[in-house]
């Protein structure tokens, strides 16, 4: 029996080592230098691995250097050390990551959310970081014309209906007065993410009409996809599931993926979306 167990363990270990050239891991890098692996591409399938430290020993723990793409400078490699339980006293964000040699003396623990400084990969890949588009640029003005107006339809069962009716009717065309735009060039096309809002009232916790979505620019044409519009109080609590931070466009095997932070009222997680010609689809 002992020999059988030993053989099974050896086969598992050798199988994991044999897959070392067939997988890719993505992680987020925090300002305290901790790399948090979030996704792994294995056998052409993306898997969410956040906080799954038991799996790391077969894959991520074999990595001594991560390819690091900062949000504000050129890529380079980060050396990594031990696996740690980051923020162990924080029920919202507790999980596992690796200590790296990025800014190792600035361990700003117990502050949530800890600022992110870039993304990392288990090997060198083609990836580009989203950048903010200035409102003086032609691109910003072109996209403003596309998304500056939206029709909000109010659910009659919504708890804020009485407050809404005080300002508008059941349906209303909104002209947004604040628009935020980020974009990145991905070979033959560009990808943009927009957020727009309009605040109702002049003081206190204002009612906010909010819209966001994606725009693909290809063949000299803009196409708005996966757009959303809704409204909430000033705390954005009910809209929190709609809020994202776009990080990067990653090219793998001639496919393009968006890497995002999904922000909610009580935490955040990460997701990957594949970009096709006419839509963006979540893969994990």
Tens-digit pLDDT profile for residues 19-68 = 445 789 999 998 888 899 999 998 888 988 886 767 777 788 889 999 99
Look at residue 17 and tell me whether its pLDDT is greater than 50: no
Beta strands in 133-188 (DSSP E): 149-153, 171-175, 178-186
pLDDT at 200: 72
Cβ–Cβ < 8 Å for 192, 182: yes
- Its pTM stands at 0.80
Look at residue 106 and tell me whether its pLDDT is greater than 60: no
Residue among 212, 210, 185 at smallest CA distance from 199: 210
pLDDT greater at residue 257 or residue 276? 257
pLDDT above 90 covers a percentage of the chain that reads 32
Cβ–Cβ < 8 Å for 248, 119: yes
What would the pLDDT profile of 168-184 be if each residue is shown by its tens digit?
Answer: 555 566 777 778 899 99
What would the pLDDT profile of 190-207 be if each residue is shown by its tens digit?
Answer: 999 998 887 776 666 777
Where residue 227 falls among pLDDT bands split at 50, 70, 90?
A: confident
pLDDT greater at residue 21 or residue 263? 263
Tokens 């200590």 label which residue? 99
Where residue 247 falls among pLDDT bands split at 50, 70, 90?
A: very high
pLDDT above 70 covers a percentage of the chain that reads 70
Contacts of 256 (CB under 8 A, 6+ apart): 186, 249, 250, 274, 275
Instruction: State the average pLDDT over residues 77-88.
Output: 82
Contacts of 155 (CB under 8 A, 6+ apart): 161
pLDDT at 50: 80
pLDDT at 201: 67
pLDDT at 156: 43
Look at residue 7 and tell me whether its pLDDT is greater than 50: no
Window from 178-187, 229-238, 259-268 with minimum mean pLDDT:
229-238
* Residue 236 preceded by cis peptide, ω within 30: no
Please list, residue by residue across 239-268, b when 16 or more beta carbons sit within 10 angstroms of its beta carbon and e when fewer do. bbebbbebbbbbebeeebbbbbbbbeeeeb
């Amino acid at each position: 029996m002992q020999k059988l167990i030993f053989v099974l363990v050896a086969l598992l270990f050798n199988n994991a080592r044999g897959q070392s050239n067939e997988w890719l891991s993505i992680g987020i890098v925090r300002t305290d230098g901790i790399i948090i692996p979030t996704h792994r591409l294995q056998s052409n399938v993306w898997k969410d691995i956040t906080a799954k430290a038991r799996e790391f020993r077969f894959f991520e723990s074999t990595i001594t250097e991560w390819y690091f793409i900062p949000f504000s400078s050129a890529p380079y490699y980060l050396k990594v050390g031990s696996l740690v339980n980051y923020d162990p006293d924080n029920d919202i964000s507790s999980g596992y990551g690796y200590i790296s040699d990025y800014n190792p003396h600035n361990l700003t623990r117990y502050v949530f959310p800890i600022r992110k400084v870039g993304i990392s990969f288990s090997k060198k890949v083609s990836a580009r970081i989203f950048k903010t588009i200035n409102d003086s640029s032609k691109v910003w003005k072109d996209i403003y014309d596309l998304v500056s107006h939206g029709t909000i339809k109010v659910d009659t069962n919504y708890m804020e209906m009485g407050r809404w009716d005080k300002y508008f009717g059941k349906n209303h065309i909104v002209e947004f007065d604040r628009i935020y735009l980020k974009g990145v060039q991905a070979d033959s096309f560009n990808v943009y993410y927009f957020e727009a809002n309009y605040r109702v009232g002049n003081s206190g916790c204002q009612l906010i009409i909010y819209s966001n979505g994606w725009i693909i620019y290809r063949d000299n044409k803009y196409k708005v996809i996966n757009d959303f519009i809704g409204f909430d109080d000033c705390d954005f609590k009910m809209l929190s599931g709609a809020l994202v931070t776009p990080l990067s466009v990653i090219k793998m095997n001639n496919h393009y993926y968006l890497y995002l932070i999904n922000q909610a009222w009580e935490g955040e997680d990460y997701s990957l979306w594949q970009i096709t010609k006419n839509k963006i689809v979540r893969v994990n």
